[in-house]
Amino acid sequence: MQEDRRVTRRRFIQGAVGAAAAFTIVPRHVLGGTGNTAPSETFGGALIGCGGRGNGTFGGLGPNVKKLAQCDVKFLTKADNKLIYSDYRRLLERKDIDVVAIATPPGWHALISVAAMEAGKDVLCEKPMTRFISEGRAVVEAQNRYKRIFQIGTFGRFGESGNRDSIRTHKIMASGLLGTNCKAVHRKQGGLKVKEWSGMVKAEPQPIPKSLDWDMYCGPAPLRPFHPHRFGGSHRGYWDYEGGGLSDMGQHHFDPVQWRFAKDYTSPVEIEPYAPPAHPEAVAMWGWVEMKYADGLTFVFESHEWGKGYDRKEERGVRLEDLSEEDRKKIEEMPDPEPLVSFPDAIRTRKQAGGHAEAAHRCATLLHLANAAIRTGRKLRYDPVNEQIIGDEYANRLVNQPMRSPWHL
Amino acid sequence: MAEPSEKLLELVGRMPDPDDRGMYCTNIDKEKIEAAIAEIHKGGTENIIGVIDMLVEPGRGDDVKAHYALHCIGLYVCKLGEDARSQFGEALVSQLGGNRPKAVQKYLIEELQAFGGREAVEKLGSMLTDEDLCEPAAMALVAIRRGARRQFREALGKVKGRSKLTIIQNLGVLRDRRSVGELTKAAEDDDQDVRIAATWGLANIGDAGSADLLIRIADNSSGWERIQATKACLMLAEKLIAAGQKTDAARTYKHFQETRSDPGEQYIKDLAADALASVG
């Protein structure tokens, strides 16, 4: 019933503005004033990246978004630039699209997120947010410059932020009352699909399928000979496009954990790996990575798939007993954090979404720092304000990797 | 190319064999790999070039172990210090520009992107005029940064097509103020990608004198190019504010506030109004 009413309202409004096509959604900017909230609350949407995660990601836009178009580099031979596109830039030119869901391989996430916001669209982007750290900062800047809504495609923090124990931890950490004496340790043990999402070190080049725009697929990464393992889900095993299971599963895991420990606006300062020498192109094996924040909080990634296990620190939460009696009272008096806003509500109300760009970027930074340590085989020190690795020029090259033209942020 | 010594072949042979999926997921022995790499490195430049001699084009043989070993040497020398690293860089540089297959040279350039320094800059600059190697050389130069601007400037007049686009873009990436004139010309190039790269570059450099040009391009273009030219104007305005040139920035915001009347660009009008208010 609600759907019928919405359509009726939309058609009425279309009539009022003289729209010709009965099933064309009036873009919200035609109807809304500042903030662009459409009276119909119905939005034109598009899906960019139509692989395995595509429809699931699009579903995250909510029930009020109608899919008007989809885009994928594998649509080269069937793109009509009306419903089906192979070049996201053409799709983003459309003014009837308000919201995009991005489910490409992560090598494209930042470029398309930024471009979509430049074109005035709100964005729901699959995780992991980015391929390397500086991309995340560019997404944050675009979100802020264009005042668009950005939400990362993992939602664990929404449940976490309703849990009383987590809220208490969040308040203690956000208060800063622990100073630099936080003893908490959070260990992510296994479940990071290391072997499953490794890359091939031995792969004979194959002919490029006619329907695939391979140059566009490679995008900002180096143009390599085609091999099907670099495409279609198994792309996760190549540094060019992602960072293996650690990247792919890591943002799911650490998104709620980062909220619990109130680390949405900072990053670790020390990162230490245990791993064999990394392959230059293929993601492969590693043992663990320990990451410490300036306040002493420790996060650990443990693969449980290679080498000796992590045995430095036991899992430990934040305890009220860590605080003086006076400080405990302060925590009790602190108001709870504001409830997180879902993406469908955010695009309607223009309030920041719960998994906003800065939070998503800081979570992705965990993954990228862990992978930078694995790839260099060195203990790294990181400056969370300037977002640079300190005193290691060669590791720092993994923070902001050059892009192949014409791609730039 | 000399035949690699038996000893070197044996050391490279200690690198792991790919598993049955063609991956490095089983029998990866960190200590064994690192000991072999240290031994290879002891042989100096001769051994590094010996490993390079084992590299082949994709599809022309099995160089999996040599490919991995070369990268492992790079990781190893970075731990040893600057002298060892620059020696490694020099060994890589010495093998560029000759008769080695382009795919092999491309891999050497990628290794320089990871591990190269000042010793590689001039040679990489000379690769910018090679259509096949321009892009990887540009990426390596941008990663190294020191001394790279000059290489791009000098190559610009010698290239066309995609290489020209690559060089224009990277002059902007490196914020080369001395290239403002060339970028200004390129902002009105026949090729849309070149125009977009040039306008972005002028904004990234923060050249106040480009503000009117960028506004004109934004006003007169459509579709994707209009979106990108508008971005360039906004980027430049932010850089001008950061540099204390608020009046110049305000002019851009005021222009967008007054002229972006299409409902599809309401968000630009709104953000310009907000920015103008905050500039004061």
Which of A112, A304, A306, A405 to mutate against chain B (most B CBs within 10 Å)? A405
Residue with tokens 């060892």: B84
Asked if pLDDT for residue A117 goes beyond 50, the answer is yes
Burial of A351 (0-12, 13-18, 19+ CB in 10 A): middle
> What gap in Å lies between CA A62 and CA A292, rounded to an integer?
37
- Cβ atoms within 10 A of the Cβ of B220, count? 10
Residue B192, in any domain of the structure: yes
- Rounded to two decimals, the ipTM of the complex is 0.97
Contact call for residues A61 and A343 (beta carbons, < 8 A): yes
Residue A269, in any domain of the structure: yes
Asked if pLDDT for residue A27 goes beyond 80, the answer is no
Q: Which two tokens stand for residue B230?
A: 């508008």
How far away is chain A from the Cα of B266, in angstroms, using its nearest Cα? Answer: 7
Chain B residues whose CB is inside 8 A of the A377 CB are 75, 79
Which pLDDT belongs to residue B46? 97
Q: How many domains does chain B have?
A: 1
Chain B residues whose CB is inside 8 A of the A277 CB are 30, 33-34, 37, 68, 71-72, 75-76
> What gap in Å lies between CA A1 and CA B20, rounded to an integer?
56
Chain B residues whose CB is inside 8 A of the A27 CB are 263-264
pLDDT band at B72 (very low <50, low <70, confident <90, very high): very high
Domain identity same for A9 and A105: yes
Residue B220, in any domain of the structure: yes
- Cβ atoms within 10 A of the Cβ of B102, count? 13
Domain identity same for A180 and A327: yes
Asked if pLDDT for residue A11 goes beyond 50, the answer is no
Residue B139, in any domain of the structure: no
pLDDT band at A19 (very low <50, low <70, confident <90, very high): very low
Residue with tokens 């308000």: A98
Residue A346, in any domain of the structure: no
Chain B residues whose CB is inside 8 A of the A378 CB are 78-79
Which pLDDT belongs to residue A13? 30
Taking CA–CA distances from B139, the nearest residue in chain A reads A402
pTM as predicted: 0.94
List the beta bridge partners of residue A168: none
Domain that includes residue A82, residue range: 2-156
Which pLDDT belongs to residue A40? 57
Asked if pLDDT for residue A7 goes beyond 90, the answer is no
Residue B119, in any domain of the structure: no
> What gap in Å lies between CA B74 and CA B77, rounded to an integer?
5
Residue B106, in any domain of the structure: no
Chain B residues whose CB is inside 8 A of the A404 CB are 135, 139, 166
Higher pLDDT, B232 or B61: B232
Which pLDDT belongs to residue A9? 28
Contacts of range A107-110, beta carbons closer than 8 Å, 24 or more positions apart? A107/A131, A107/A219, A107/A220, A107/A221, A107/A235, A107/A240, A107/A241, A107/A242, A108/A49, A108/A219, A108/A220, A109/A135, A110/A135, A110/A136, A110/A138, A110/A139, A110/A409
Local structure of residue A278 (DSSP, 8 states): P
CA quadruple A46, A49, A55, A57: dihedral sign:
negative
For A114, residues 6+ apart whose C-beta sits below 8 A from its C-beta are A138, A139, A142, A409
CB contact under 8 A, A280 and B37: no
A289 alpha carbon, distance to own chain's centre: 21
Contact call for residues B192 and B225 (beta carbons, < 8 A): yes
Residue A14, in any domain of the structure: yes
CA quadruple A270, A275, A277, A280: dihedral sign:
negative
Asked if pLDDT for residue A39 goes beyond 80, the answer is no
Residue A389, in any domain of the structure: yes
Q: Which two tokens stand for residue A269?
A: 């300062």
pLDDT band at B4 (very low <50, low <70, confident <90, very high): confident
Map A302-366 to HEC letters.
ECCCCCCCCCCCCCECCCHHHCCHHHHHHHHHCCCCCCCCCHHHHHHHCCCCCCCHHHHHHHHHH
Domain identity same for A137 and A265: no
Residue A342, in any domain of the structure: no
List, for residues A289-330, the tens digit of each pLDDT value: 999 999 999 999 999 999 999 999 999 999 999 999 999 999
User: Kind and range of the H or E element at B45?
Assistant: helix B44-53
CB contact under 8 A, A284 and B58: no
List, for residues B152-192, the tens digit of each pLDDT value: 999 999 999 999 999 999 999 999 999 999 999 999 999 99
Residue where a domain terminates, one of A126, A156, A186: A156
List, for residues A359-379, the tens digit of each pLDDT value: 999 999 999 999 999 999 999
Taking CA–CA distances from B74, the nearest residue in chain A reads A376
How far away is chain A from the Cα of B38, in angstroms, using its nearest Cα? Answer: 12
Chain B residues whose CB is inside 8 A of the A198 CB are 21, 23-25
Per DSSP, the three-state class of B265 is helix
Asked if pLDDT for residue A1 goes beyond 60, the answer is no
Chain B residues whose CB is inside 8 A of the A19 CB are none
φ and ψ of A396, to 5 deg: -65, -25
pLDDT band at A29 (very low <50, low <70, confident <90, very high): low
Chain A residues whose CB is inside 8 A of the B104 CB are none
Domain identity same for A164 and A90: no
Chain A residues whose CB is inside 8 A of the B270 CB are 34, 147
Contacts of range A12-15, beta carbons closer than 8 Å, 24 or more positions apart? A13/A39, A13/A40
Domain identity same for A143 and A167: no
Residue A227, in any domain of the structure: no
Q: Give the residue from A375, A180, A128, A359 showing the smallest Cα distance to A271.
A: A375
Local structure of residue A269 (DSSP, 8 states): S
Q: Would you list the DSSP string of A62-96?
A: -TTEEEEEEE-GGGTTT--SSSEES-HHHHHT-TT
CB contact under 8 A, B23 and A201: yes
Contact call for residues A245 and A192 (beta carbons, < 8 A): yes
Domain identity same for A86 and A191: no
A-proximal residues of B, 132-171, CB under 8 Å: 135-136, 138-140, 142-143, 162, 165-166, 169-170
Which pLDDT belongs to residue B2? 72
Question: Could you tell me what percent of chain A has a pLDDT over 90?
Answer: 89
User: Average model confidence (pLDDT) for chain A?
Assistant: 91
Which pLDDT belongs to residue B60? 87
Q: How far apart are the first and last CA of chain A?
A: 44
CATH at residue A148: 3.40.50.720
Nearest to B68 among A92, A201, A378 (CB): A201
Pairing of strands A185-189, A99-102: unpaired
CB contact under 8 A, B264 and A95: yes
A-proximal residues of B, 69-128, CB under 8 Å: 71-72, 75-76, 78-79, 85, 106, 110-111, 113-115
Contact call for residues A240 and A218 (beta carbons, < 8 A): yes
Q: Would you list the DSSP string of A116-164?
A: HHHTT-EEEEESS--SSHHHHHHHHHHHHHHT--EEEE--HHHHHTT-H
List the beta bridge partners of residue A189: A302
Residue A174, in any domain of the structure: yes
CB contact under 8 A, B223 and A277: no
CATH at residue A278: 3.30.360
Average the pLDDT over A18-44 and give the result. Answer: 52
Q: How many domains does chain A have?
A: 2
How far away is chain B from the Cα of A159, in angstroms, using its nearest Cα? Answer: 32
How far away is chain B from the Cα of A305, in angstroms, using its nearest Cα? Answer: 9
> What gap in Å lies between CA A393 and CA B116, rounded to an integer?
10
Residue where a domain terminates, one of A101, A136, A156: A156
CATH at residue B199: 1.25.10
How far away is chain B from the Cα of A172, in angstroms, using its nearest Cα? Answer: 34
Lowest mean pLDDT among A7-21, A211-225, A386-400, B82-96: A7-21
Domain identity same for A282 and A141: no
Residue B201, in any domain of the structure: yes
How far away is chain B from the Cα of A401, in angstroms, using its nearest Cα? Answer: 7
Residue B264, in any domain of the structure: yes
Residue where a domain terminates, one of A97, A126, A156: A156
Domain that includes residue B257, residue range: 183-280
Q: How many contacts, defined by CB atoms under 8 Å, are there between A and B?
A: 160
CB contact under 8 A, B18 and A237: no
Question: Could you tell me what percent of chain B has a pLDDT over 90?
Answer: 96
Question: Could you tell me what percent of chain A has a pLDDT over 70?
Answer: 90
CB contact under 8 A, A225 and B197: no
Local structure of residue A406 (DSSP, 8 states): T
Residue with tokens 């889900």: A233
Chain A residues whose CB is inside 8 A of the B142 CB are 402
Chain B residues whose CB is inside 8 A of the A306 CB are 28
Residue A134, in any domain of the structure: yes
CB contact under 8 A, B30 and A279: no
Residue B214, in any domain of the structure: yes
